[in-house]
Chain A
Amino acid sequence: MKGIVFTEFLSMIENQYGDGVVDTIINQSELPSGGAYTSVGTYDISELHQLIKTLCRETSCDSKNLLNDFGHHLFGTFLNLYPEFFNRCKHPFDFLESIENHIHREVLKLYPDAELPSFQTNRTNDFKLEMKYTSARHLAELARGLIEASLEHYKKSGTVNSISDPNHDSTIFVIELNR
């Protein structure tokens, strides 16, 4: 898992709960990296799950909500860092479709070792899109947060429903925009 996920997660925790909580969850988690993350580095996914688990225990928050929030947060980070990815699209579905086809391809050029999830899309029309998230990391909620944030970014409202298929590490999101 790329380091930016860790640095942005800790940044969001620090913003929400302050340095102390960050320090605590790092200390309470057994992390091979010792919690020192850089965005250009690569770390094991289990460290993220440990940090989430420890945080939820410390703050009694829901891990699903936490990941959803993190999705929203991460979208904002990406928007800041890589605005061109977003500017080239006018419609949220265009953007969502470009993740698999365009953005991930660009990511792999920079980080050939990046292990990226798969986002297969199937657009029924400009108001309905099915998006199948497949990843061994089980961060479907993070994906949902990202999808919701993108709708918001393109100023669209609608619903995001999901059907998960645990046997195949996949979740299908059915995105329907309001007319």
Chain B
Amino acid sequence: MIPNNSSEQREIEILKRKVERERKARQQAEDFLEKRSLELFEANNQLKQFNEKLEEEIRTRNTQLVESELRYRTLVETAQDIIFNISTDGYFEFVNQVAKELFGYDESEIIGQHFTEFIDPDHVERVLGFYIHFRDKNEQASYLEFPIITRQGEHRWIGQKVRRVEMGNRVYFSAYARDITQQIESEKALINVKEELRKSEMKYRSMIENMELGIMEVDNHGIILNAYDRFCEMSGYSRQELVGQNAEELLLVPEFKAVMDLQHQQRSKGIADTYEIKLKRKDGEEIWVLISGAPFYNESGEVAGTAGIHYDITERKNLERDLQEARLKAEKAQMAEHEFLANMSHEIRTPLNSIIGMTHILKESPLNDEQHDLVKIITHSSRLLHSLINDILDVSKLEAGSVIIRNEDFNLLEILENIQNTFSVKAREKNIEVSLDINGQLDELVNGDPLLINQILMNLVGNAEKFTDQGKICIETEILPSESDDQIQVRFAIHDSGIGISQEQLPHIFDKFHQAAMSSTKRHGGTGLGLTITQKLLQLLGSEVSVTSEEEKGSTFSFTISFGKTGKLIRTKEKTGNEWELHASVRSKRALVAEDNKLNQKYLDMLLAKVGINYDLAENGAEAIQMAAQNSYDIILMDIQMPGVDGFEATARIREITRYNDVPIIALSAMTMSSHISQLEEAGLDDLLPKPFTPRDLYTILNYYLGYGSVEPEPEFTESEFHFSKELDRQLLIDSYDNDIEYAADIFSTFLSNTPDELKRVQEFIKQNKTAEIRTIIHRIKPTFQMVGLPAISVMCSDAEKLADEKNEDFMLKVNEITDAFESTRSLIISELERMQNYIKQLA
């Protein structure tokens, strides 16, 4: 169609533009839709992927859930514990394998059952009550123990933990339980054991009670915790009256407080002990009890108190008291007997002394043969009587235990030689030889009791002589190897060729008043006490006599004695031969004799005149004091029992005079008891000449106190021009150094530089009371004193060591003595060293 006018034309134009706009708009819309549709597609795609991812995740989660469940199920099934679930009203919903095994039922038999079906009917009520409470109170967890009954009818105890579980709306209980049957059974067993213990305790307690032993228990403060029937009976109190009381305040007799205090200390240390005290009964009567107290412990092992077992010993104590009184009476009686013996012996000895003395003098006077024979008989009889009294006195002293063992340095060889000589004279009459056989060196003084040794040897040799009519007697000594350096062991044996002893007699020879053949008493005389005394004396010295014998062949008596070594050499053998011979120097001395008995005066006058000693006689103690004051005497012989001023007092008064400080005063007495001897020493008497004495006894004393030392010849020094001081032990120094004065000077110098330091240390240790250390030093310096010629101080050191070993308190005193002794000789050693040094210079 062709447009016919402009209007149409314009409409066409408008339409065209409109269509064009519509087309463009459609295009826009299509673009938009396409774009949106693409967006939709992509969104869809994303949704799809998201969906797939979600599905995948759900699958994974499902698998994990399955695995997890499997894992937990396995865990529950294989667990060692019983695991089960029950509903809130108590029905089983799940059980694991262990539960099934324990119950003995299949799962189907348990699930759906009420839990009370399986519980021991005796416990159902308790368990049910517990769980109803647990459920209704909404508690989260609980624990309970109870027994179940298995299919086999067995009782098993389980300990069950229950937890409340909430899953969404559902609530149930999950339980974990364990079989605790064994544990419960051991607990029951323990309870049984405790019960058994209690019964056993009861049993023993009642046994003790039946044994008249009263038991009481107190705490650590002494308060009574319990008292049993027998103790109540003993004390007179009822149990109610005792419990809660202080045991000591109520029961103890006050004088036993100290005993109890000591016991408390012991008990607190857990020490049990037995002791005797007195208790006061309720009725006021006092009873003796023997208490065995022992601590008892609480469960933590601490001492909780004391249990005491009391035994009434009042009767026994009374008996003991009676016995004690009886014993005291007996002892008094014995003492009286002892005193009687001593006095009797004194009374007998004094006249006997006169008889012997006068017989001696009579023998020396011109007599015809008949008279001579009579005198001989008197001599023999009086000697026998004398020895009999001595023996009886000895036995009595030994039995009373009043023999004191002395420790002094003495010459054993001299004693042996004296005995040999004494018996040789006697035995010669029977044509018997008495020999002395010394094996080993006896060249030093030994330390011991010379009197006892002498008596023992005299007895044994005298015995041998008595029973031997032909052949010989041999005194044999042997030095045995000693266990310690400061001891010397000597074995003595006395052989004889006498009548011997039969085997039957042998065990009885040491019995009192017994002799080998009863008839021999007559034939051989004697008291029959000799061997008894010998054996007792040897026992006192820690030795024993042994005997071998063959009838008609002879006997051997032997024993061994340990002496202390002194290191002092025996240098000169004293003359022992002639009893009448005195040292020349003694004869020039002047003596005072105090003696009231005329006969004794005469005897002494005769003996002193014989050896030419000048003497003055005092008739009593007062006179003696006066004469001593007026004149000067070298020795005083003092009778003890004198009228008025006795010998003790006179001696003490004379000692007050300065010049008599060191003059020997010798007691003349028939009193030889040890108590008297100590009295002599206290009074200041130097020695005792026991009455009756022989001339030889007197001369020995005079020689000893007046002659010894002053008659010793000056040692000869031929090899050395250097003379050691007389105050030192010259011989020892010459032996030690020969002629080597330089060496000696060296030793002296070392001694002087060391010893003061050592002794200073000793003083320090004394302050600290260190005995062991002091002993060590003393032992160390002991030989050095000998090296400088002071053996006496070495001996003091030995003594000190001995005291230390004996834990004797005198040890410290002895140590101080050593120090003093050193100090007093120090200047001597110094001057000696100077002299040596000068001598060495001169030689150079």
Chain B residue numbers with a CB within 8 Å of A27 are: 17
* Interface pair A38/B26, CB less than 8 Å apart: yes
* Interface pair B28/A41, CB less than 8 Å apart: yes
Mask of B23-60 contacts with A, CB within 8 angstroms, 1/0: 11110110011001000000000000000000000000
* Interface pair B21/A19, CB less than 8 Å apart: no
* Interface pair B14/A34, CB less than 8 Å apart: no
Give A22 to B11 CA distance when docked, in angstroms. 12
Chain B residue numbers with a CB within 8 Å of A38 are: 25-26, 28-29, 32
The answer to whether the Cβ of A36 comes within 8 Å of any Cβ in the partner chain is: yes
Nearest residue in B to A24 (C-beta to C-beta)? Answer: B14
User: Which A36-66 residues have a C-beta within 8 angstroms of B?
Assistant: 36-41
* Total number of A residues with any Cβ neighbor in B under 8 Å: 15
Instruction: Looking at the assembled complex, report how far the CB atom of B50 sits from the nearest CB atom of chain A, in whole angstroms.
Output: 19
Chain A residue numbers with a CB within 8 Å of B18 are: 19, 22-23
Chain A residue numbers with a CB within 8 Å of B25 are: 7, 36-38, 41
The answer to whether the Cβ of B15 comes within 8 Å of any Cβ in the partner chain is: yes
User: Which A106-138 residues have a C-beta within 8 angstroms of B?
Assistant: none
Chain A residue numbers with a CB within 8 Å of B26 are: 38
The answer to whether the Cβ of B681 comes within 8 Å of any Cβ in the partner chain is: no
Instruction: Looking at the assembled complex, report how far the CB atom of A112 sits from the nearest CB atom of chain B, in whole angstroms.
Output: 10
Give A7 to B22 CA distance when docked, in angstroms. 10
* Interface pair B32/A36, CB less than 8 Å apart: no
Chain B residue numbers with a CB within 8 Å of A41 are: 25, 28-29, 32
* Interface pair B33/A40, CB less than 8 Å apart: yes
User: Which A5-30 residues have a C-beta within 8 angstroms of B?
Assistant: 7, 19-20, 22-23, 26-27
* Interface pair B29/A23, CB less than 8 Å apart: no
* Interface pair B32/A20, CB less than 8 Å apart: no
Known: A36-B22, A36-B25, A38-B26. A23 touches B32 (CB 8 A): no
- Grouping DSSP codes into helix (H, G, I), strand (E, B) and loop, the B interface class, with mixed when no group exceeds half, is helix
Give A39 to B11 CA distance when docked, in angstroms. 25
The answer to whether the Cβ of A92 comes within 8 Å of any Cβ in the partner chain is: no
* Interface pair B21/A26, CB less than 8 Å apart: yes
Give A23 to B17 CA distance when docked, in angstroms. 8
The answer to whether the Cβ of A35 comes within 8 Å of any Cβ in the partner chain is: yes
Q: Which of A26, A34, A35, A38 has the most CB of B within 10 A?
A: A38
Instruction: Looking at the assembled complex, report how far the CB atom of A44 sits from the nearest CB atom of chain B, in whole angstroms.
Output: 14
Instruction: Looking at the assembled complex, report how far the CB atom of A138 sits from the nearest CB atom of chain B, in whole angstroms.
Output: 26
Give A73 to B24 CA distance when docked, in angstroms. 25
A-B contact count (CB 8 A): 43
Instruction: Looking at the assembled complex, report how far the CB atom of A101 sits from the nearest CB atom of chain B, in whole angstroms.
Output: 26
Chain B residue numbers with a CB within 8 Å of A40 are: 28-29, 32-33, 36
Known: A19-B15, A20-B14, A23-B14. A35 touches B21 (CB 8 A): yes
Instruction: Looking at the assembled complex, report how far the CB atom of A153 sits from the nearest CB atom of chain B, in whole angstroms.
Output: 29
Chain A residue numbers with a CB within 8 Å of B29 are: 38-41
Mask of B433-451 contacts with A, CB within 8 angstroms, 1/0: 0000000000000000000
Nearest residue in B to A27 (C-beta to C-beta)? Answer: B17
Give A82 to B21 CA distance when docked, in angstroms. 26
Chain A residue numbers with a CB within 8 Å of B15 are: 19
Chain B residue numbers with a CB within 8 Å of A23 are: 14, 17-18
Nearest residue in B to A7 (C-beta to C-beta)? Answer: B25
Chain A residue numbers with a CB within 8 Å of B36 are: 40
Give A23 to B16 CA distance when docked, in angstroms. 10
Instruction: Looking at the assembled complex, report how far the CB atom of B35 sits from the nearest CB atom of chain A, in whole angstroms.
Output: 10
Chain A residue numbers with a CB within 8 Å of B28 are: 36-38, 40-41
* Interface pair B14/A36, CB less than 8 Å apart: no
Give A113 to B14 CA distance when docked, in angstroms. 33
Instruction: Looking at the assembled complex, report how far the CB atom of B444 sits from the nearest CB atom of chain A, in whole angstroms.
Output: 141
Give A34 to B3 CA distance when docked, in angstroms. 26
Give A133 to B28 CA distance when docked, in angstroms. 31
Give A34 to B17 CA distance when docked, in angstroms. 10
Known: A19-B14, A19-B18, A23-B14. A34 touches B24 (CB 8 A): yes
Instruction: Looking at the assembled complex, report how far the CB atom of B38 sits from the nearest CB atom of chain A, in whole angstroms.
Output: 14
Nearest residue in B to A35 (C-beta to C-beta)? Answer: B21
* Interface pair A36/B24, CB less than 8 Å apart: yes
Give A178 to B706 CA distance when docked, in angstroms. 177
* Interface pair B33/A36, CB less than 8 Å apart: no
Chain B residue numbers with a CB within 8 Å of A7 are: 25
Give A38 to B20 CA distance when docked, in angstroms. 13
Chain B residue numbers with a CB within 8 Å of A22 are: 18
Instruction: Looking at the assembled complex, report how far the CB atom of A106 sits from the nearest CB atom of chain B, in whole angstroms.
Output: 17
Q: Which of A35, A36, A37 has the most CB of B within 10 A?
A: A36
Chain B residue numbers with a CB within 8 Å of A34 are: 21, 24
Give A38 to B22 CA distance when docked, in angstroms. 8
Instruction: Looking at the assembled complex, report how far the CB atom of A170 sits from the nearest CB atom of chain B, in whole angstroms.
Output: 32
Nearest residue in A to B30 (C-beta to C-beta)? Answer: A38
Chain A residue numbers with a CB within 8 Å of B20 are: 36
Nearest residue in A to B33 (C-beta to C-beta)? Answer: A40
User: Which B294-343 residues have a C-beta within 8 angstroms of A?
Assistant: none
Nearest residue in B to A10 (C-beta to C-beta)? Answer: B21
Mask of A139-163 contacts with B, CB within 8 angstroms, 1/0: 0000000000000000000000000
Chain A residue numbers with a CB within 8 Å of B32 are: 38, 40-41
Give A83 to B162 CA distance when docked, in angstroms. 65
Give A34 to B20 CA distance when docked, in angstroms. 10
Mask of B194-213 contacts with A, CB within 8 angstroms, 1/0: 00000000000000000000
Q: Which of B15, B21, B23 has the most CB of A within 10 A?
A: B21
Chain B residue numbers with a CB within 8 Å of A19 are: 11, 14-15, 18
Chain B residue numbers with a CB within 8 Å of A37 are: 21, 25, 28
Instruction: Looking at the assembled complex, report how far the CB atom of A10 sits from the nearest CB atom of chain B, in whole angstroms.
Output: 9
Instruction: Looking at the assembled complex, report how far the CB atom of A107 sits from the nearest CB atom of chain B, in whole angstroms.
Output: 15
A and B contact pairs by CB, cutoff 8 A, 16 listed: A7-B25, A19-B11, A19-B14, A19-B15, A19-B18, A20-B11, A23-B17, A34-B21, A34-B24, A36-B20, A36-B24, A37-B21, A38-B25, A38-B29, A38-B32, A40-B32
Given contacts A23-B14, A36-B24, A40-B32, 14 further A-B contacts (CB under 8 A): A7-B25, A20-B10, A23-B17, A26-B21, A34-B21, A36-B23, A36-B25, A36-B28, A37-B21, A37-B25, A39-B29, A40-B28, A40-B29, A41-B32
Which residues of A are interface residues toward B (Cβ below 8 A)?
A: 7, 19-20, 22-23, 26-27, 34-41
Which residues of B are interface residues toward A (Cβ below 8 A)?
A: 10-11, 14-15, 17-18, 20-26, 28-29, 32-33, 36
Enumerate the 4 nearest inter-chain pairs by beta-carbon distance, A residue then B residue, closest first: A36-B24, A38-B29, A36-B21, A38-B25
